[in-house]
Chains A and B, each alone.
Chain A
Amino acid sequence: MGLTRGWRSTLVGAGAATLALAAIVAALGPALTVIPIGVLRLVVGGLLLVFGLQWLRKAILRASGWRAVRDEDAVFARERAEAANAPHVERAGLDWYAFTISFKGVLLEGLEVAFIVLTFGSTQGSIPLAALGAGAAVVLVVLAGIVVREPLGRVPENTLAFAVGVMLTTFGIFWGAEGAGVDWPGGDAALLGVLAFVLVISLAFVTALRRRKLAFA
């Protein structure tokens, strides 16, 4: 948006969304700590599970050839052309298109991240620690982007989506079951077992669907 419509309105939109996110987090954070831990784990587990399965489902379909793999360069070129061709409407001294698109983008993506950080923090009893972890991740990602940009750029987007789907589904199963009253055999170590299970079935589904695709071809 900054490249096509200019940086001022884009950065104002991103800044306004960051403030809105901070207000949402400040309101939701303390509210989450008063909910009983069992109920919280059930709700959080359920939400992580539905988010995780959405990611995993798409990644498996793409990896097995049943859904087209996103061409990031083509998407960038298309969206850049759309942004350049959008009419210029000025409100409050800002390019309203650039402001609203960057505001919505930062708010919606940020909301998902904020939700994950808040829920991880509250189920483990420390929101500040989860926030610290999220902050450290931002620093690490920026540094990794600078230092190992070339090899990182070669990691397919779908592989990252697959990994995120596996992780969210794993935590969703683990906490959701605990919230529903389950005692995992082996305690917290069972998380590794759940992770292995989710990974194995996901890879098996990719293989099975690839074979199915070849049989149809």
Chain B
Amino acid sequence: MKRFGKFWWDFIVGDDWRVAVGIVIAFGLTALLATTSIPAWWVLPLAVASVLWLSLRRVAR
């Protein structure tokens, strides 16, 4: 059971769990903003760029 869970964790989350958490938060923000009159399309691209850069920086130091 533990190995089964680890397989799915590695398959979906991968090396850096912070990336997955960042994406979930970005989806939440996008959904929240989409209910207002403010355009929400820019949130996800910006979040992806930020999350990716922070993840890369953690390795490259």
Contacts and interface: CB of A to CB of B under 8 A. Distances in A.
Is B a genuine binding partner of A? yes
Interface of A: 42, 46-47, 49-51, 53-54, 56-58, 60-61, 64, 66-67, 112, 169, 173, 176-177, 180-185, 190, 194, 197-198, 201-202, 205, 209, 212-213
Interface of B: 11-16, 19-20, 23-24, 27, 30-31, 34-35, 39-41, 43-45, 48-49, 51-53, 55-56, 59-60
A53 B40 contact: no
Nearest to B10: A54
Given A51-B12, A57-B19, A180-B34, 14 more contacts: A49-B48, A53-B23, A53-B51, A57-B15, A57-B16, A57-B55, A61-B59, A61-B60, A67-B59, A180-B30, A181-B31, A198-B45, A198-B48, A202-B52
By secondary structure, the B interface counts as helix
Contact of B34 (A60, A182, A185): A182
B49 A201 contact: yes
Nearest to A43: B27
Contacts of A176: 23, 27, 30, 44
Which 9 residue pairs spanning A and B have beta carbons closest together?
A181-B34, A54-B14, A180-B30, A180-B31, A177-B44, A182-B41, A201-B49, A66-B60, A182-B40
Contacts of B34: 180-182
Contact of B60 (A64, A194, A201): A64
Nearest to B41: A182
Contacts of A61: 56, 59-60
Contacts of A182: 30, 34, 40-41, 44
A42 B55 contact: no
A50 B12 contact: yes
A56 B52 contact: yes
